[in-house]
Amino acid sequence: MGELIISEGYELRHHLDAGREGLTLYTAPGAAREIALYDEAGNYRPLKTAPTLRRGWRMGLGAIGDLQEALEGFYPAMLAARLAHQNGKLRVTPLRETLNRQSGMYAITKKMTDEQANATVCAFCNSTSGCLKTILWQIAPGIPITTLPPEKSAPHGDFPLLCAEGCNLLVARAREVVKQETP
């Protein structure tokens, strides 16, 4: 799930720490929020699904409920999104709809072109440096995102992180792009 490995006995660790010894042990599921708060360099992580989760820890949890609480701390709302998706109840909102409902200083995002949207999504949402979520939305109905690899829009893996709508950080970036490119 994301950058996590979930092992037998409800143990969690960063996937790059698989098999590594000498990791700091946490046993309280609430520690997940603290671990997820900052990256390796100590910088705040505003987007918890960014590929910047720090390493050097493991969580030994005692029960499934503890595991659920820890996963919620690492990746807020992702368990609920997955359940809703499995049950066919996850509402997916196209980017154009998200941008069209913006007001105030974000109202300018309504002027974003499809070309700008594609470039912005590619730069901001890519799994290498942006976000690990699988994007389920399109720019508009019938207008897919064409600048990302196909696997970015198809749920894959044992427990994909799902993106049903462009996030507030993407909307903020869209505002910057439109402001810069609007005469």
Whether this model's pTM surpasses 0.85: yes
SS3 per-residue string spanning 115-144? HHHHHHHHHHHCCCCCCCCEECCCCECCEC
Contacts of 140 (CB under 8 A, 6+ apart): 94, 95, 96, 97, 114
Contact 129, 138 (CB under 8 A): no
Q: pLDDT tens, 2-53?
A: 999 999 889 999 999 999 999 999 999 999 999 999 999 999 999 999 999 9
Q: pLDDT tens, 92-147?
A: 999 999 999 999 999 999 999 999 999 999 999 999 889 999 999 999 999 999 99
What pLDDT score does 183 carry? 66
